Structure 1
Amino acid sequence: MPELPEVEVSRMGISPHLVGQTVQSIVFRTPKLRWDIPADLKLMEGLVIRSISRRAKYLLIETEKGTAIVHLGMSGSLRVLDGFIAAGKHDHVDLTLSNGKVLRYNDPRRFGAWLWSPVGESHTVLANIGPEPLTDAFTADYMLEKAKSKRIAVKQFIMENKIVVGVGNIYASESLFAAKIHPLRPANSLKLDEWQSLVTEIKSVLKTAIAQGGTTLKDFAQVDGKPGYFAQELQVYGKAKQPCPACGEAITDLKIGQRNTFFCSLCQK
């Protein structure tokens, strides 16, 4: 599944081609992805795209009448085409622009979403979610307060969107390793200095991933079709039984909250 860095890379990739352009037409080749595709998305036709932002793993394409909300799901991707090309089996949405380019949404598994939020309204998918991890609202003091009565594993805790958005499975493992914190530690057992270290590492790992173009996942490639390059710099994720890059101990893997987790039992306490 594309995680926050992959979604942010997609935002950066499509923005130069879309912002300031008029939507000439929007075409849906399926009535439903994860949810029904709302007919109100047709309101975008004839409108100028004012901005493209990101909230959690959602891309927000803003116009004067409302905002298209796009989620890539498990296998979705966006491409900017120089003109219309015959659609393939999994090409579900086309946005044709005044500059002649076409934004195309491809999703083999159809777990993604295209939704609509009128001006002045907030969509339910964006309600009750935590702060962005790369903003000043995400701090050690904030996490200490949120965790004070939580005995769930810290890895699960930092992956909860209502606590902080966008710390997905890969980057949770990497951040905990960098902060030397065992993923099974109860969230409320971390002291302020440990939260300071973990918050710092989450921000660092995500920034590095964005700079490198997103993790290479089998279902994700950048807007220009090239895969991301951060996977080669992963320290522990996907490296079960390989030597820890810090101490040489074999990397351990187990499931926490039904998600694969990788860590060093010596380095992480």
Structure 2
Amino acid sequence: MPELPEVETTLRALRVVGRTILSVRGVDYLPTIAPWGLEAFQEALRGRRVEQARRRGKYLLFLLDRSLALAIHLRMSGRLLQLPGRTDPDPHTRLILELDDGSSLVLRDPRKFARAGLLQEPELQALEAALGPEPLDLCRNPVAWKARLLAHPRRRLKALLMDQRFVAGVGNIYADEALHRAHLHPLRRVGTLSDTEAIRLGEALGAVLREAIAAEGTTLEDGAYRFGDGQSGRFALRLRVYRRAGKPCTACGTPIARILVSARSSYFCPKCQPLL
């Protein structure tokens, strides 16, 4: 958290393309920009123009002039927002980029896990090559999705969906929600799936991600994820299993169960998603 829908929503709220970075402030936790030192980081960004902004998996990528890219990963609790005018850092501010339109691009993260890195073109290419395909693209092609999925017969479904080398951008929330819609247990091995089940999972994953983007992401009870000027994502109202342990399944009424998969909590319906 944030996952693909939250990062996509964050990106869509920004208006930075064409803007020039005037200054870099607010870095009070150097691991945020590691391995760059503060002065080198400031010097590298000062005067750069943002030529393109896009998402790749859970990364926000800002392509700058003179073949440099700023890559930001929000990790567990990071937020990136664009504020009007000059802003002073608060206790959770990790980075402020002041832009030539008077706005400030602010990275906040109370848990200090978020990272901002500068990449030359070969490094950017290596980062993108290490990630799997975008699931929204892959899921539109059932043949390609099925072939990629079935190439991992020994992997368990939940762990595979969250593997960023398999598809980029899916995490705990949307893996659980997709598996529930597809009626598949998180511990099922890929090799036990029929062709119909494999295709159904791709359809479910694509649908969940599209709906979550349309709802501008998922803001949970802790309120960690917000976008724009503090707005909440509405997909939390549509969650069927995630963080609903003990509550009735929306499809059959069976209490939702919780187990650990790869040291992460996983939620599923024992009746709708039997482990065969």
Normalised to the residue count of structure 2, the TM-score between the two structures is 0.89
Change (3 A) 1:186 1:103: same
- Contact 1:140–1:192 (8 Å) recurs in 2: no
Q: Which moved more, 1:241-250 or 1:55-64?
A: 241-250
Equivalent-residue separation in structure 2 for 1:47 and 1:141 (angstroms): 42
- Contact 2:23–2:97 (8 Å) recurs in 1: yes
Equivalent-residue separation in structure 2 for 1:149 and 1:179 (angstroms): 18
Residue in structure 2 matched with residue 36 of structure 1 by the alignment: 35
After TM superposition, list the pairs within 5 Å mapping 1:196-211 onto structure 2.
Answer: 196-211=199-214
User: What runs of 5+ residues in structure 2 fail to find an aligned partner?
Assistant: none
After TM superposition, list the pairs within 5 Å mapping 1:198-237 onto structure 2.
Answer: 198-217=201-220, 218=222, 219-237=224-242
Within the alignment, does 1:152 sit opposite 2:150 as a pair? no
After TM superposition, list the pairs within 5 Å mapping 1:93-108 onto structure 2.
Answer: 93-108=95-110
Q: 2:22 aligns with which of 15, 21, 24?
A: 24
Report the identity percentage. Answer: 35
Residue in structure 1 matched with residue 5 of structure 2 by the alignment: 5
Shift of 1:184: 1.5
Equivalent-residue separation in structure 2 for 1:134 and 1:225 (angstroms): 26
Report the aligned-residue RMSD. 2.0
Normalised to the residue count of structure 1, the TM-score between the two structures is 0.92
User: What runs of 5+ residues in structure 1 fail to find an aligned partner?
Assistant: none
Within the alignment, does 1:250 sit opposite 2:249 as a pair? no
Residue in structure 1 matched with residue 183 of structure 2 by the alignment: 180
Shift of 1:37: 3.9
Find the residue that maps to 1:26 and give its secondary structure: strand
Equivalent-residue separation in structure 1 for 2:105 and 2:28 (angstroms): 14
Change (3 A) 1:53 1:173: same
Shift of 1:148: 3.9
Q: Which amino acid aligns with 2:206?
A: K
After TM superposition, list the pairs within 5 Å mapping 1:45-56 onto structure 2.
Answer: 45-56=46-57
- Contact 1:37–1:114 (8 Å) recurs in 2: no
Equivalent-residue separation in structure 2 for 1:91 and 1:149 (angstroms): 41
- Contact 2:174–2:209 (8 Å) recurs in 1: yes
Q: Which amino acid aligns with 1:30?
A: Y
Q: 1:134 aligns with which of 133, 136, 161?
A: 136
Shift of 1:138: 6.8
Find the residue that maps to 2:50 and give its secondary structure: coil
Equivalent-residue separation in structure 1 for 2:55 and 2:71 (angstroms): 9
- Contact 2:145–2:199 (8 Å) recurs in 1: no
Find the residue that maps to 2:209 and give its secondary structure: helix
Change (3 A) 1:149 1:3: closer
Change (3 A) 1:90 1:205: same
Q: Which moved more, 1:33-42 or 1:217-226?
A: 33-42
Equivalent-residue separation in structure 2 for 1:259 and 1:68 (angstroms): 30
Equivalent-residue separation in structure 2 for 1:155 and 1:267 (angstroms): 16
- Contact 1:91–1:106 (8 Å) recurs in 2: yes
Equivalent-residue separation in structure 1 for 2:123 and 2:159 (angstroms): 31
Q: Which moved more, 1:129-138 or 1:75-84?
A: 129-138
Task: Show CA shifts across 1:154-207 (max 9, x none).
Answer: 111111111111111111110011111121111121122211111111111011
Task: Show CA shifts across 1:112-161 (max 9, x none).
Answer: 11101124543654442210101147744445444345323211111111
- Contact 1:239–1:262 (8 Å) recurs in 2: yes
Q: How many residues align?
A: 267
Equivalent-residue separation in structure 2 for 1:119 and 1:256 (angstroms): 36
Residue in structure 1 matched with residue 73 of structure 2 by the alignment: 71
